[in-house]
Structure 1
Amino acid sequence: MSTQKKEDILDKFCDPEHPVIVGFEKIQAAQELIGDAVVKTPCRRSQMSDMFNMEIYFKKEFLQYTGSFKERGARTSLLNLSPEQKAKGVITASAGNHALALSYHGKCLGIPVSVVMPTIAPLMKIKACEKFGAKIKISGHNICESRVIALEMGQSEGMMYINGYDHPDIIAGQGTIGLEIVEQVPDLDACIIPIGGGGMIAGTALAIKKKCPDVTIIGVEPEHCPSFAEARKAKKPIYTPTTSTLADGLAVPTVGVNAFHTADKLIDKIVTVNEENIALAILRCIELEKAVVEGGGAVGLAAIIQGFVPELEGKKVVVILSGGNIDTTVLDRVIERALAEDERLVRFQVSVSDRPGGIAELTKIIADLGVSIKDIFQERPWEKHDVFAVMVKVVCETRDAEHSKQLHDAIKQHYPNNHLIWGPSYD
């Protein structure tokens, strides 16, 4: 391993002192280069259009073979290698979609791929990369530490480091999404694009603005990692503290230098969405689009749900659903959180008689309204008001917010003085 100081290790393709502003011709070249090896994903009108009074078209990048848009940039960067570099191979640091895409297309093209993944990387993604023939090294507590290790390995072993969101070829490859969008949706008014490291919005916005200058470009970040918005304030990429988010694929603390300088003047508006609406967007995609979309892929819809783009009402809008690799162990929790936010999963506690028939009386009220009990729990020691009463905690499933209100009103009417405590929707 090289003895070079870590702070001296530089990715020559992503130099903060000499940022590369990607040109439109590189995107055109990338489209020709990747050809049919990457899926030209559908972009069709959604039935959600009527819900939000706008013509919504979903660009379904989660239908790529490895489940995300990352394949476009990965294949472009691999095909642009010199014959000598193809023989030596490439290396990257990634815990998710970029690792999968690079590993898969490396296998297809016969190019050796190494990936340094942090210790927090999901086991399912580690195994998937190994299945594609990548050499995996688990090292680093986070992606920043893994990146330094990967750069060191690349220098010592002659492998090129490919940044998953900032390498110029990556940005160009992601820009092919924009070329497809303007072809698939004529007379487009706006495009809503997730922002993580910035590679996708840089390439896509460039392609769209070059073809259709009047199209409004709106970027969306999770509020737990607003790194592009902070970079705009500072007029350069800066480190932005992040916290855990459902949009984990977008949690990049420092946006790419090339991506920022390419995209900044092309983005008309940036919004940040909360966790509750990201969860709701995932649920809406499952129920109405029959599509499983990861948190980072759903933030564009979350911006619409949260009411951050009222200026788009009546307009024709493309929303990029950028990936579908949500951790299956998380999906169930996300759905339940979304149902609670949607007031279709409610909880309450109420004091009822502890004599025979007391609980039956409560459950009959619930059943008569067509509400389903998901969980029920009794607590006697903490009922301080009446020794002949029991505190009952209930979790119920309802049809919608109005149905939940009917249940609330019925319980309150039947037990007017029984210390009713309702969920977060009712005080």
Structure 2
Amino acid sequence: MTGGGMDLLELADVEAARTLLTGVVRRTPLVRSGPLTRMIGQPTWLKCEHLQRAGAYKVRGAYTRIARMPESERGRGVVAASAGNHAQGVALAAGLLGIRATVFMPEGAPLPKVSATKGYGATIEYAGTSVDDALIAARAFAERTGAVFIHPFDHPDVIAGQGTVGLEILDQCPEVGTIVTSIGGGGLISGVAVAVKALRPDVRIVGVQAAGAAAFPASLAAGAPVKIPRCATIADGIAVQRPGDLTFAHVSKLVDDVVTVSDEELSAALLVLLERHKQVVEPAGAAAVAALLSGKVGAEPPVVAVLSGGNIDPMLLLRVIEHGLASAGRFQRLSVRTPDQPGELARLLGEIAKTRANIVDVLHSRQNPRLAFGEVEVQLSVETRGPDHSAALITALRDAGYAVAQSGTP
């Protein structure tokens, strides 16, 4: 097959990768989601690639690519650039194969991902403040030293390895009607689409990008890969400014739809997975679920959502949980003005207590220049039971005579 003038992979390529990966990667669980089945009204399953070795599907493609290197290249080592999951996949794969690995990461890369990459035996180098900066440095290192550059998505072996996720889904859920997965550079969805469309052309394949890093919709509209000016999303795992040439050819030919989700929708999905499924995923790993919950996927049941990764910085997890609670209407930041008199703060807190809302923190300030003389501002973080409870809280405070402003989501 060809697409956009470029040779596409075939089923045999993915099946060969599956043979190569046998005993190396985990056959990750496919679990039925009762909560999502009820929420979206269709039988829904979760493909748990966040439980893969190194915490993401990336090791499938990295191992396939590195294992197929000729002996003449192995002694030169490999080099990669990544903010996290690809770094860990390359480090693990290279370590398993006894090959030296150097990984360039941007300054400020999440410390848990840096530590994990080092733990798998790679040498870490820092370059710039973005993955693009790290890529430039990694390519320069490859030219200078002869190390083999391992692309995170735009290589046939990488795509073939990632495609083994699709073969597993067909084995585990032969009746699948729709597969939904995140898209960054497009390696995962390209491989999945190659495998699934060859065996079950009726299955609908849907990709999900973060709205703040949506290079594929613009590229598909233009008919060629387009570089977006910047990425602004909490989903660092899919923050890619330009699709690969090879992955674009696969997506444009084989993928049925690409949709986008906001950071608020990603946060809400992550919270659902954490609370209702006891699954810890990173924002990129929750993208498929975010698209389903927000009604953006025209799905034929049953639906399989791929949880692509679980490598999340605990500090980011705290912020995302708070963001998710706010998106779900269960967390409010309020600013309330009260007279600067003894007992007024206690009266305000008492009014909140009457509504059975839970106060998380309180900041009492007299320094705001917008305040009138004899007036104070009280900023509160409050947990509620949902949007209706939040609305009732604000109404109760206003009925009690308070000027209330919502500070928005975190």
In the superposition, relative to structure 1, how do residues 316 and 382 fare at CA in structure 2: closer, same or farther (>3 Å)?
A: same
Deviations 1:236-286 (A, max 9, x none): 212112232111111111111111112211111111111111111111111
Superposition deviation, residue 57 in structure 1: 0.7
Matches within 5 A, 1:154-233: 154-233=142-221
Whether 2:27 is the aligned partner of 1:40: answer yes
Q: Distance in 2 between matches of 1:128 and 1:272?
A: 30
Whether 2:66 is the aligned partner of 1:78: answer yes
- 2:225 aligned partner: 237
Superposition deviation, residue 138 in structure 1: 1.9
SS class of match (1:348): strand
The answer to whether the 8 Å contact 1:293/1:325 transfers is: yes
Q: Distance in 1 between matches of 2:365 and 2:331?
A: 21
SS class of match (1:287): helix
Aligned partner letter, 1:274 = S
- Partner of residue 274 from structure 2, selected from 286, 300, 324: 286
The 10-residue stretch of structure 1 (376-385 or 165-174) with the greater mean CA deviation from structure 2: 376-385
Aligned partner letter, 1:363 = L
Q: Distance in 2 between matches of 1:161 and 1:384?
A: 57
Q: Distance in 2 between matches of 1:412 and 1:74?
A: 58
The answer to whether the 8 Å contact 2:100/2:122 transfers is: yes
- Partner of residue 75 from structure 2, selected from 73, 78, 87: 87
Q: Distance in 2 between matches of 1:355 and 1:141?
A: 49
Q: Distance in 1 between matches of 2:229 and 2:376?
A: 46
SS class of match (1:373): strand
The answer to whether the 8 Å contact 1:30/1:173 transfers is: yes
- Partner of residue 118 from structure 2, selected from 109, 118, 130: 130
The 10-residue stretch of structure 1 (86-95 or 395-404) with the greater mean CA deviation from structure 2: 86-95
Q: Distance in 1 between matches of 2:379 and 2:107?
A: 39
Superposition deviation, residue 115 in structure 1: 1.7
Q: Distance in 2 between matches of 1:297 and 1:385?
A: 44
- Partner of residue 403 from structure 2, selected from 401, 419, 424: 419
Q: Distance in 2 between matches of 1:305 and 1:61?
A: 20
Q: Distance in 1 between matches of 2:77 and 2:369?
A: 67
- Partner of residue 343 from structure 1, selected from 318, 329, 333: 329
Unmatched tracts of structure 1, length 5 or more: 1-16
The answer to whether the 8 Å contact 1:193/1:220 transfers is: yes
The answer to whether the 8 Å contact 2:231/2:241 transfers is: no
The answer to whether the 8 Å contact 1:383/1:389 transfers is: no
Identity of aligned residues (%): 37
- 2:248 aligned partner: 260
Aligned partner letter, 2:403 = H
Q: Distance in 2 between matches of 1:20 and 1:141?
A: 34
Matches within 5 A, 1:133-148: 133-148=121-136
Q: Distance in 2 between matches of 1:137 and 1:394?
A: 42
Aligned partner letter, 2:405 = I
Aligned partner letter, 2:77 = G
The answer to whether the 8 Å contact 2:80/2:150 transfers is: yes
Deviations 1:351-397 (A, max 9, x none): 34444433222222221222111122333465988766544332211
In the superposition, relative to structure 1, how do residues 360 and 149 fare at CA in structure 2: closer, same or farther (>3 Å)?
A: closer
Q: Distance in 2 between matches of 1:110 and 1:238?
A: 37
Superposition deviation, residue 71 in structure 1: 0.8
The answer to whether the 8 Å contact 1:20/1:168 transfers is: no
User: When the two structures are superposed, what TM-score results if normalisation uses the length of structure 1?
Assistant: 0.89
Aligned partner letter, 2:39 = M
Whose radius of gyration is greater, 1 or 2? 1
Q: Distance in 1 between matches of 2:76 and 2:403?
A: 71
- Partner of residue 316 from structure 2, selected from 304, 319, 330: 330
The answer to whether the 8 Å contact 1:351/1:383 transfers is: no
- 1:366 aligned partner: 352
Aligned partner letter, 1:31 = R
Aligned pair count reads: 406
Q: Distance in 2 between matches of 1:245 and 1:162?
A: 25
Superposition deviation, residue 151 in structure 1: 2.4
Superposition deviation, residue 73 in structure 1: 0.5
User: When the two structures are superposed, what TM-score results if normalisation uses the length of structure 2?
Assistant: 0.93
